[in-house]
Structures are given as structure tokens and as C-alpha cells.
Structure 1
Amino acid sequence: MFNFSTPLLKPILVLEDDPTHQLRISKVLQTFGYKEKDIFYSQTIDFAVNICSKNSIQFMLVDLNLPDGNGIDFIMHIRAKSTNTVPIMVLSEWNTLDVIYKALNVGATGYVLKETDDFELMFAIRTMLKGGAIIDPHIAKKILSKFKKSLSDFPMSHEHVHTNLSQREIEILTCISNGSSSYEIGLELNISKYTVDAHIKKIYQKLEVNSRTKAIYAAKQIGLIN
């Protein structure tokens, strides 16, 4: 069984107006070792703000659809305090990309859908307790799909793209397309990571791109790699 033990951030705020979801979250948090005294519950933004003004909350789980407003407004209020860097995970039914982008843009450090099962929710909470960020896999798939579409719509004038890559640069570009890191490429080609990074920089310049993903796309478009 997966080990969910991790140092706990206390106290924690759960901003959720649905008693059923509150109970579910409570049970999940207890799996980590949280006690009831460690958890503050609020069904409204106004009361949540009051809780935060009187307690040094260390972790927050926030719904968006609340009786007195949008949870995004609450996150904005919290982040307006320059010293507040506590992890905030949105747990919502809303899965539209514009809402997700807005929540992340104002300061949410994680976004998980309520439809996720308890195991996935526990994994998401554990990730954030360990200092990471988390995006629900269903949301990540949507974002990747949109990103790929934006790449396919990316205008590229091939006659202005320099294709005079050296054989070594093509080898490195092929490794990049296979998902290898600079360190892994260095091991495979028996060169240092710093030499790999220097080659990658030249590849970017020749293909007129600024990321690995765009370099792969450009190279495939002009037949440099399969």
C-alpha cells in the first residue's frame, strides 16, 4: 500500500460549503494524521477571511463555488498579503480552462477536480504537503491538448529557418525528441552536460525557437527528425 506519511502543515483551512464534501475531506486528512483540532472549516469566504486573520493557517483547500462569492476572490485576498506563501489547493467541480488558468494565475498552487477518487486526492495533498504543485490529470490532459493545437497553429516560415545543423546537433535533437535530459544525452554521447546545453542553444538559434518542444516540432516540420 502507498505510504502517505509526510510532515503535516498545521493548522489547515477547508473552505467548502457542501457538508458531504467537508466530511470526505475530513476523512482524507485524517488518513494523514490530522486531528479535528488541526482543521478549520468554513462555508463562506467571509468566515474564511476571519479565520485567517486570527490563525496562522499553513495549508488551504478551497472550493470555488461558494454562497458569498468565488473562491478565486478569496485566493486573491490571501495572496494580496505579500508575506503569504502558504500552499492553496483548489478542489472544485469547475473544469473549464479559463477558470483553471485564472485560479492558478491569482496564486493557487494546485487544482484538483472533486470527481477525483480518494486515492488520487490523497496523492495530490501529499504532493502539496511536500512542497510540490499539482494539476489534476484530466486538467493536464486538456492543457496539453490545447498546447499541441497552439503548436500546430504556430506560423512558421520555413524559408527563413536555418537548417544547417551539424550531425552532432541532429543527434542531440533526436535525443531531445526521445525525452532525454541534457545529463542523459551527455552520457549517451560521451560529452558533458554543459557541452550538450551549448549545442541545444545553437539548435534553438538555427531553428529560431526558444524551447525543446518547439525545436522538436520545427525539426519534424522540415524533416530533420522523424
Structure 2
Amino acid sequence: MNSPLRVVIADDQELVRAGFGMILDAQPDIEVVAEAANGLEAVDAARTHHPDVLLLDIRMPHMDGIEAARIVSSETSCRVLMLTTFDLDDYVFEALRAGASGFLLKDVRRADLIHAVRVVAAGESLLAPSVTRTLIAEFTSRSPATDRPLARELSVLTTRERETLRMIALGQSNAEIAASMVLSEHTVKTHVSNILTKLGLRDRVQAVIAAYEGGLAVPGRL
């Protein structure tokens, strides 16, 4: 039997930590190994307990969740799942840039919380296509990439890989990309893997950000 997924919950509200902890600990494949009440404690818990997933509140005392995410993502293999109160929190985009693999609203349903932990632990990103489009377009529109040439870093990608990356930035799934490009899903998965490897990215979330920041995708333009 596989070892349970190790989870750390970091939130300055004790009731949030306790509620999420009870839900996750009740699952046979998940174990909450520590809790943290602020960003410093979250970083220390990640270093000490080596969790698979860190549930991390964006707004916390002593060190905010963004800085904590940046440290944990750079020092460990732990996947960071941000907790936020609002759908388009001003800090969400910065959190994703810091290495987070997705975000959850604090009023998330029980089943969605459990699913999110499992998905992120498996190495996937947790942003629905519609959320990807809305979120990234919202924040990148504040600093449009329209006038920027294609970033030099993206030149390492093949034509097929750049087109795949552009479609990822539009929030398309592997199945949708495969249909658009008349490819098998296996081939698309290979393109996605090559994109992440060549650009040194952790997951699809960072790929979306790279596409917009590199000028490959422009908010509002298909």
C-alpha cells in the first residue's frame, strides 16, 4: 500500500486549520502532518516535515503566503496550494508566479478540497480552464504584452510546442489541444512535457504565465 499523502495546513485562523484538517485526515490516503499559524511557521513545517502538499493562506502575519510559497517552492519539492477568500484576489497571480500550483477558495466544498490535494500531489495544476483564462487575462492586462517581441526564452521551443503553449494559455485541455492540432493526446502530453522541461517550469500554471509574459499569448486575443 502506498504511503499517505503528507499535508501541512497553514492559516492564521484556527477554525480553518481545524476544519480542513478534520476533512483531510478522515481520508485513508491523506495525513495532515503539521499545522502553521503564520508564514514563518509554514516554511519551518515544510522544511521539517517534508509534506507532499502545503495548503497555504495568502494573507498571514510575520510572513505572507506569497513569500512563504516562494521559499518552499525553491527549497523543496512540496506542491503549494494557495487558500484565498476571493475569486480574483489581487495576490493570486503573484502567488502563482512564486511557484504555487493553484488556488482554492476557503469556502471550498469538502469533496473539492480532497480532490484538489490529490490532484496537486500528483503533479498537476489546479486551475480550471475558465479560471485560467479569467485570472491570467485579468492580471496580465495590467501590463500588456502586446508590444513585446516574443521572449528569447521561448525560441527554444519548436513550432508545435509554441502552438501547444499558446493553447495552454487559452485554457485548453490536452483533449481540446489534440483536436485542434489533429494530434493524439499522447503527442500533446509529450509536447507539454517538453515545454515544461525546456523552460524549467513546474507545471501548466507556470506555463500559462510564461506564455503571457513572453508575448506568445495576449489577453483578449484568441
TM bucket, shorter chain: 0.5 to 0.7
CA distance in structure 2 between the aligned counterparts of 1:123 and 1:68, rounded to whole angstroms: 30
Check conservation: 1:111, 1:135, Cα contact below 8 A: yes
Report if the CA contact (8 A) 2:46-2:78 is conserved: no
Return 5+ residue gaps in structure 2 as ranges: 148-175, 188-214
Which residue is 2:63 aligned to?
A: 69
Report which stretch shifted further, 55-64 or 90-99. Answer: 90-99
Structure 1 unaligned spans of 5+: 1-5, 156-178, 188-192, 194-208, 218-226
Aligned letter for 2:11?
Answer: E
Residue 5 of structure 2 aligns with which residue?
A: 9
Which residue does 2:118 correspond to in 1? 126
Q: Decide which of 182, 187, 195 is 1:185's aligned counterpart.
A: 182
What is the rounded CA distance, in whole Å, between the counterparts of 1:186 and 1:60 in structure 2? Answer: 36
Q: Which has the larger radius of gyration?
A: 1
Distance 1:107 1:66 in 2: 18
Identity %: 16
Q: Per-residue CA shift, 1:94-115, capped at 9, x if unaligned?
A: 4435411100101101211112
Q: In 1, Cα distance between the equivalents of 2:80 and 2:72?
A: 10
2:181 & 2:43 partners in 1: Cα distance?
A: 48
Deviation of the 1:141 alpha carbon: 5.9
Aligned residue number for residue 23 of structure 1: 18
With normalisation by structure 1, the TM-score equals 0.56
Q: What aligned pairs does 1:99-114 form with structure 2 within 5 A after superposition?
A: 99-114=91-106
Q: How does 1:24-173 map to 2 (within 5 A)?
A: 24-33=19-28, 38-81=32-75, 84-96=76-88, 98-135=90-127, 139-140=131-132, 142-143=134-135, 146=138
Name the CA distance, whole Å, in 2 between partners of 1:20 and 1:138: 30
Return closer, same or farther for 1:22/1:34 CA change in 2, 3 Å cut-off: farther
> Aligned pairs, how many?
161
C-alpha separation between the residues in 1 aligned to 2:11 and 2:67?
14
Indicate how the Cα distance of structure 1 residues 126 and 80 shifts in structure 2: closer, same or farther if over 3 A, else same.
closer
Q: How far apart in 2 are the matches of 1:15 and 1:117? A: 18
Give the alignment's TM-score, normalised by structure 2. 0.57
Counterparts in 2 of 1:137 and 1:62: CA distance versus 1, 3 Å: farther
| Amino acid in the other structure paired with 1:134 | L
CA shift in 2, pair 1:117/1:141, >3 Å: farther
